[in-house]
Each structure stands twice: as structure tokens, then as C-alpha cells.
Amino acid sequence: VSIELVTEEIKRSISSADNFKQIIYSFNRPTNDYRFTVADLTEFEGALKFGRLCIANRFHPITQYLPANKLTFCTLCWKIGHTRLTCNAQERKCRICLDKFNQDHINICSGIPQCAQCGLNHHSLDPMCSFIQNYRQKLNYEVKQAVQGGKLIRRVVQRYHHQRPVPPLESTSQYDTNSPPLPNNSNNMSQINKPVNKGWSGSHSQLTTNATPMESNALINIIEKMHQELKKDISSLNESIVQKLDGKIELNSSNIQLHQVNLSQINSTMISLLKKVIVPLVKNIKELKVETKNQILTVIQVLEKTS
């Protein structure tokens, strides 16, 4: 499946999706993963709630992309655990062979990778390196401990997703109408913090109660209209089916009559042929017995009567 097809299929369900990229792994995987951004928070939460998207007539799982924790490494000596600003190395090293890097090194580089962590023949930041794996495990553990201890705070979208219920999926216009932006005004904030007047609660509930029968009547009218339209569609469909069946029956009856006429003509032709050919032959054959001749002539007469 091409990334253009993935983009087209996803945009049908999530209109604000953008920046589609395929995730490239350092090892082979049985499936292809794609990463994209969703600008609308309502569509983002709705897609996570549904959990699946249809791409090329198949449902595929959709999850929140959680990037891996960044490794701290030095671009001078290519060791992990510190950065270039705090490195004690006196000279810059080649990323591949770890020899001294200068303007002429590109022409003399051996091209054989050497790890700055363990000294084996692979790149210094290779994810298969045991030093890199241990460092990443330790980093993930320390990050989790920092989040649980309150030293690190999750991003706003992640905290919203984990702590708040997922809102229903609705259009952008409805979201803007139901959740308009609040003005940045201290007076408005003070008005919001004021206690609510309980005298309005009764009228608000009364308005809500009075509006319910009107909505019910409108819903009943819509259902009744749909019912009438459905009845008309069914009756017109039945009439068209009956007309098609009548046409097929008439066509079959005309074909049957034509076949009967053809068969009767064939029978008369065969009987005349028997009378003109078989009967004289039977009479002229002297070796046949009289009984056999009579039986043949009787059969021909019977066929002539039945036709």
C-alpha cells in the first residue's frame, strides 16, 4: 500500500490529518507503520476511541504515537551520556571509523564502522549494541520514575487523554459552537468565579422540560415521514417487479407456442416421410412375416392419428 493511498483513506475519516510519514525501523517487520498529526483535538480523541481505520477495504488499528526517549550522545567522540558542550575530547572523531576527522579524512576513511561504546564493528549508536540497549532501558526507567514523582509533567494532550473521558466524535463547526474560546480578561475570570445564582436553576430546568415535547413531536414527524416514503418506495418496487415478471411470462408463453408449432410441423413431416418411404419398403420385402409387416403398419397409423 502506497503512502498516497494511506493519506487519501485516512483523510476521509480524519479531515485534519496531515504530515504523513512512514516509520522506518532498523529491523524487518511484518507490517508497515505510518505516523501523522491530527490538528483537531475532537477528531484525535474520536479516532483513539474508535481504535480502527479502514484502509483499502480493511480495518487497521490506530494508536497514539509515543516517541522514544531521546538518547544523550556526543557528536565529537560519539559516546553516550554527555553532549558536545561537556565533552573532554580534544579532537573531533569520524562517526564511522572513530579516527581523527578533518577535511582530508573523507578520502582516507576505511568505511569500517567501529562502536565508541563497546569497540565492536558496528556504528556507535546502533540499537543492537548491548551498551545502547542497557542505556535505553535505564533511561526509560528513570523517566517513568520522574513522571510518577512529579519531576516531569506529561504533555497536555497525553494528560487529557489519560485523565478525561473521551468526547463523542463531532464536526469542527459543532465543536467551535459548543466550545467557543474564552476571552483573556481578568474581569471575565472574576465573573466566572462568582457563585451561581440559584434562582435561575428552576427556570432553566423548566425551559429544558418544555423543549422536550417539541423535540419529541419533531422526531415523531420525521419518523412518520420516513415511514410514508418507505411505503411508497416498497409499493413502487413491487409494481416494477410484477411488471418484469409479467413480461417474462408473456415472453415464455410465446416461445412455448412457437416451439409447439415447430414440433407439430416436424411430426407431420416425419409421418409423411414414413408413409412414402417405410411403407413401400415393408410391403416389398418378401422375407418379412405378415405379422411383422402388420405391426409396422399399425405403428405408423397410430403415429399419424396422434399427430
Q: What is the pLDDT tens value at each position of the chain, 307 positions in all? A: 789 999 999 999 999 999 999 988 877 888 899 999 999 999 999 999 989 998 988 999 999 888 888 889 999 999 999 999 999 988 899 999 999 888 888 888 988 999 999 999 999 999 889 999 999 999 999 988 998 888 888 765 544 444 445 444 444 444 444 445 554 544 444 444 454 444 444 444 444 444 456 667 778 888 888 888 888 889 888 888 988 898 889 888 888 988 888 888 888 888 888 877 777 877 777 777 778 878 888 887 887 777 6
Query: Is the distance from CB of 288 to CB of 281 less than 8 angstroms?
Result: no
**93 touches 105 (CB < 8 A):** no
* pLDDT (0 to 100) of residue 212: 55
Domain range annotation of the chain:
3-61, 84-171, 242-307
Q: Residue holding cell 409421418?
A: 271
Whole-angstrom distance between the N-terminal and C-terminal Cα of the chain? 71
pTM listed for this prediction: 0.39
pLDDT at 206: 40
Hey, what's the cell of 20?
A: 504523513
SS3 215: helix
pLDDT at 185: 47
The predicted pLDDT at position 283 comes to 77
Residue 274 · residue 303 · CB < 8 Å = yes
Please tell me the distance from the alpha carbon of residue 150 to that of residue 231, in angstroms, as a whole number. 64
Question: Contact, 99 vs 153, CB < 8 A?
Answer: no
- According to the model, what pLDDT value does residue 177 have? 46
DSSP string, 264-286: HHHHHHHHHHIIIIIHHHHHH-S
Contacts of 71 (CB under 8 A, 6+ apart): 80, 125, 132, 135, 136, 139
Q: Maximum distance among all alpha carbons in the chain?
A: 134
Alpha helices in the chain (DSSP H): 3-13, 41-50, 105-108, 130-149, 156-163, 172-178, 186-193, 201-273, 279-284, 290-306
Question: What does the alpha-carbon distance between residue 72 and residue 98 come to, in Å, rounded to a whole number?
Answer: 18
Rg (CA), the chain: 45
Q: What pLDDT shows up at residue 189?
A: 47
pLDDT at 192: 46
Which pLDDT does position 287 carry in this prediction?
Answer: 73
